[in-house]
Amino acid sequence: MNFVPSPEIQSRLNKFQQQMREDKVDGALIVLNADVYYFTGTVQNSVLWVPDEGEPVFMIRRSMERGRRESPLANVVAIRTPRDVPEVLARFGYSKFGRVGLELDVLPVNTFFFYQKLFPNTEFIDITPKIKDVRAIKSDYEIGQLREACKAVDRAFREVPNMLKEGMTEIELASLVEAALRRNGHHGYNIMRAFNQGPSIGVTCAGESGGIPSYMDGPLGGPGPTPAFPHGAGWRPIKRNEPIIIDYACTVNGYTVDQTRVFCIGELPDYMVKAFEDAVTIQEEILKILKPGTPCEEPYILALELAEKMGYKDSFMGRPGDQVRFIGHGVGLELDENPIFAKGIKTPVKPGMTFALEPKFVFAEGAIGTENTFLMTEDGPERLTVTPEIITYLP
């Protein structure tokens, strides 16, 4: 069992509390699993109180046994219902609730109304931007977990050539890829914070399936197995001489990396090969300009310019009408963290940020491109994904 070290949790809390003090926030009530895990080291049915100063109070409905075993926090207590929260906090000496943070980007409206009634004289603010700021800069411990996830996705992708057979369905191949990921430590799903965008699995699409858009906010769609889940692999048989694009995030010990590779039984047409090479070129040109302090919009603007010059205006990052407006996204406990590389986002990239870049082209005949996960260091981007960046051909 991989427990988060106590000094790691304390460092995260210290940074978050400093941010709250700067904004004159008395504390935060945290309920989202990803944020609870970040600050406690465990996921339980719980409410976490983080004051601007002092020790947090971790209030658990279930399971207390696991909560106490897995979290290094000192104040771990049982509650029957969230209605007990004010009474429990009073026992620990917390009675100042003038300005309190909630995760308003994800909190259901009814839950927000519940906390309004529970703390009637409190001004609630959205604490999510502060949490995202703290979480965006990864510690050495977190980078270590991301490296392990990169090793896991590499081991799984290296098995793909032994799985692929002409005539098998996309669903069949996807099931084998996902089993390989699970065997290597993947949780089996990836968390996305954006509403109705997750949990996601991944994309395994061949030929024209790769050109089918979906509701997911990404360049790749796919038919999915049913209109009830219209994303990723469908029931189409895999044919010769077509691109097979495999795009999976892999989450190990809570931390998610993202990777895309292309396979083919036979040979790809020349324009597809060139498109793959051009996608890699766009990625490499982005890496040349990325450094600490680079505004997040610059890589996207550069990618758009390069794609248009190369003749891919109508196929870059999606089919016409379904093109996404970013070139990369942060990764960590969630698949859609900061930084986001998109026009209008002038936030500077900072050392410690981890992100995926995914230049892709989507044609009616299929999708092609690449995706890798990177760490921003003081000296520039470091590639964390290790799988060879090639089109893998099978006879």
- Residue 147, SS3 per DSSP: helix
pLDDT tens digits for range 170-196: 999 999 999 999 999 999 889 999 998
For residues 196 and 105, the model is more confident at 105
Given a cut of 90, is residue 1 above it in pLDDT?
no
- Provide mean pLDDT across the span 282-310: 98
Q: Supply the mean pLDDT for the chain.
A: 96
E runs forming strands in 170-265: 202-206, 244-252, 255-265
6-134 topology per CATH: Creatine Amidinohydrolase; Chain A, domain 1 (3.40.350)
Whether the pLDDT of residue 200 is over 80: the answer is no
Which structure tokens are listed for 16? Answer: 């978050």
> In this predicted structure, what is the pLDDT of residue 297?
98
Q: What is the pLDDT, as a whole number, of residue 201?
A: 82
Q: What is the pTM of this model?
A: 0.95
- Please say if the pLDDT value at position 354 is more than 90: yes
**Which H helix or E strand runs over 131?**
helix 128-136
* Average pLDDT estimate for 33-57: 97
pLDDT of the residue at 50: 98
109-118 residue pLDDT tens: 999 999 999 9
Q: Would you say 347 and 136 are in contact if contact means Cβ atoms under 8 Å apart?
A: no
DSSP state of 169: B
- Residue 20 three-state SS: helix
Contact (Cβ atoms closer than 8 angstroms) between residue 13 and residue 56: yes
Unique residue bearing structure tokens 């760490």: 375
Q: What's the fold here for domain 137-394?
A: Creatine Amidinohydrolase (3.90.230)
Residue spans of the domains in the chain: they are 6-134, 137-394
